[in-house]
Amino acid sequence: MTDNALVIGSTGLVGSLLVNELTRKNISTIAVTRRPIENNYNSNSLFEVDFNSALDNKKFPPCDHIYICLGSTIKKAGSQQAFRKVDFEYSLEFAKIARNMGAKKISLVSSVGADCNSKNFYLRVKGELEEAIDNLDYDQINIYRPSLLIGSRDETRFLEKLGQNLSFLINLLLWGSLKKYRSINANRLAACIAKTKNKIGTNYYYYEDY
């Protein structure tokens, strides 16, 4: 039976590509968005909603598989508190609501180096989210830990752009245990996330798995 998919963060780099991948596979997909989208992603449904309102009501379209691709930067969010609200609070609450409404699978785009005990705020928040979702009793939890993502974003991230320009050379230096830190094309990551998986429990995916 084909999953009904719900994509949170559908206007972002990975989320938008993932929606296209899922609909290309004829998977019934609802793209949750906070703003109108010009591209209707072919046959998928759009669910435009105010995130705070949706979380207060604890209700949105049911699904079998929820994909969480929310992601920001502290600079874009404006503060560490605002960043945590998007990357941790929103993501976790959507995961809880989906589980309560019957979702059995969840896929989360996290980050290489995510660790709830990290001294780095960004990586600590990512790790805390992974840990919290791991406790939600989903049948299948897929956690993707990419490094630098290669692709075009709506906004400019200077350091990320610089890293993208140097990514080919940097990747040549990363071997063995360092291979997971290689940058990856966002299209390749989205295609991997959209693939059907039958692994029960919590599964982690790194560069060499994509």
Model confidence pLDDT, tens digit, residues 126-153: 999 999 999 999 999 999 999 988 876 5
Categorize the per-residue pLDDT at 85 as very low, low, confident or very high, splitting at 50, 70 and 90: very high
Question: How many whole angstroms separate alpha carbon 132 and alpha carbon 38?
Answer: 34
Using the predicted structure, report yes or no on whether residue 26 has a pLDDT greater than 80: yes
| Pair of tokens at residue 88 | 């941790």
Output the pLDDT for position 43: 47
Model confidence pLDDT, tens digit, residues 113-122: 999 999 999 9
Q: Is residue 14 part of a domain?
A: yes
Find the domain containing 154 and state its range.
5-199
Query: What mean pLDDT, rounded, does the chain reach?
Result: 85
Q: Is residue 210 part of a domain?
A: no
- For the chain, what is the domain count? 1
CATH of the domain at 59: 3.40.50.720
Using the predicted structure, report yes or no on whether residue 171 has a pLDDT greater than 60: no
Q: Is residue 209 part of a domain?
A: no
For range 81-105, the mean pLDDT: 94
Chain mean position to CA 24: 19
Q: Which residue in 101, 96, 88, 93 sits closest to 4, CA to CA? A: 101
Question: How many whole angstroms separate alpha carbon 94 and alpha carbon 62?
Answer: 11
Please give the single-letter amino acid code of residue 157.
R
Question: How many whole angstroms separate alpha carbon 135 and alpha carbon 157?
Answer: 33
Q: What is the pTM of this model?
A: 0.87
| Pair of tokens at residue 117 | 């005990």
Q: Is residue 190 part of a domain?
A: yes
